[in-house]
Structure 1
């Protein structure tokens, strides 16, 4: 089996080791004999959304996010069609905010989003920083690290509910967003190496869309779950 992953603007959208998410997807495919072709996208002119299976959008500073927005708005219609067709997408922090209608910086600058989902984000002067632990229905507990001034508000299904940390906005107890095969989240860290069930969900969704239902070969995740448990304990003891 072969899959194609677009890593959007990795030279600009790579805060806090977010490229580790791409590596996690690559390795967990490789260990199963699945060839994952990774294409680093540096211009929307290089994008052919009819041939992609997974899209990764990392985090960025407000400045970088503003620059990238201009590029992504060029392909927002095709991106939306791909999402409705079931393309898998993981969007982190700034990438998560870009899925919405707009993002307002703490200085009041408004960056338009791709309008993939109907929500908005706005930044405050103070940042939400620290380890975060959430509870999800599909993946159990999920651990990560958050560092964001943005507050995101939406009515979609969240990725999970906050146990420790701030999440979407520090008010409603939710973190992230799930829509079709799209996951948006504020969790850096990167999120996927420490949460293998989430990584496998993204791979499985891409395979099912392309090839029909296929069972993934089970892997020995002893080390991954030991790491995850250690991260959980850190969250609970701080």
Structure 2
């Protein structure tokens, strides 16, 4: 399943049907995953995060329902888990007005504990603002107490993050915006390799309620199953009260992590 190419006509696609061979009869219930702006904010494989969540839900015995939200779509009801990716400055400009129009809905979901994963460009726009290196300001929706300033310095390469919640997180960064955290928010972790939020404080990403924000692409979740299962467990517990884990196949994730850990910066 791939998102439509930029500029093509698009209808809201609520309730993707999975191929029959990937759709065992659900025994534990369904989870609705919403990807924000896959048409414009889907760089460096970020769409893969939604696909990983869907597959791991199946392994855990739950039925995933993948939804998309693009500019101009009706926002779906009863969303259990939200993911959003990165994009160039041009992509942020395309979505900014629509995102601001959905600020109250997304804020309500966030404050109510809906698990969310926001990467790079949407991480920035979930904050207060992104000020480009040319001085223009793209306002954010203010869920996260962070602000981002564009710079001439490009932070690029493989990253290893030490997280108190999730252990070692592996990914890849490529951004010139540098983000600083306010007093009301904690980092996702500290960088053992790579840069992270900015070139000065050694922090990467942000954690607030059940939101995980990060600069790490790759996509992030295939190499970090503990992070994937946190999002899934939280979504399931909020909807059904308890989470009954299955037996995910982590063999490829283990190999990917071993390979990623060996790659130079």
- Which range, TM-score by smaller chain? over 0.9
Matched-pair contact (CA < 8 Å) for 2:117–2:213 = yes
Which residue of 213, 222, 238 maps to 1:184? 213
Deviation at 1:33, TM superposition (A): 2.3
- Asked if residue 7 in structure 1 is aligned to residue 13 in structure 2, the reply is no
Distance in 1 of aligned mates of 2:152 and 2:72 = 32
- Asked if residue 17 in structure 1 is aligned to residue 17 in structure 2, the reply is no
Unaligned stretches of 5+ in structure 2?
1-28
TM-score between both structures, scaled by the size of structure 1 = 0.95
Which residue of 174, 177, 186 maps to 2:203? 174
Matches within 5 A, 1:64-75: 64-75=91-102
| 1:29 matched residue in structure 2 | 57
TM-score between both structures, scaled by the size of structure 2 = 0.86
Moved over 4 A (4+): none
Deviation at 1:219, TM superposition (A): 2.0
Which residue of 133, 150, 155 maps to 1:123? 150
- Asked if residue 225 in structure 1 is aligned to residue 254 in structure 2, the reply is yes
| 2:116 matched residue in structure 1 | 89
Unaligned stretches of 5+ in structure 1?
none
Matched-pair contact (CA < 8 Å) for 2:60–2:244 = no
Instruction: Kindly indicate which of the two structures has a greater share of residues assigned to helix.
Output: 1
Aligned residues: 235
Larger-Rg structure: 2
Distance in 1 of aligned mates of 2:187 and 2:146 = 12
Which residue of 237, 241, 244 maps to 1:212? 241
The alignment's C-alpha RMSD in Å is 1.2
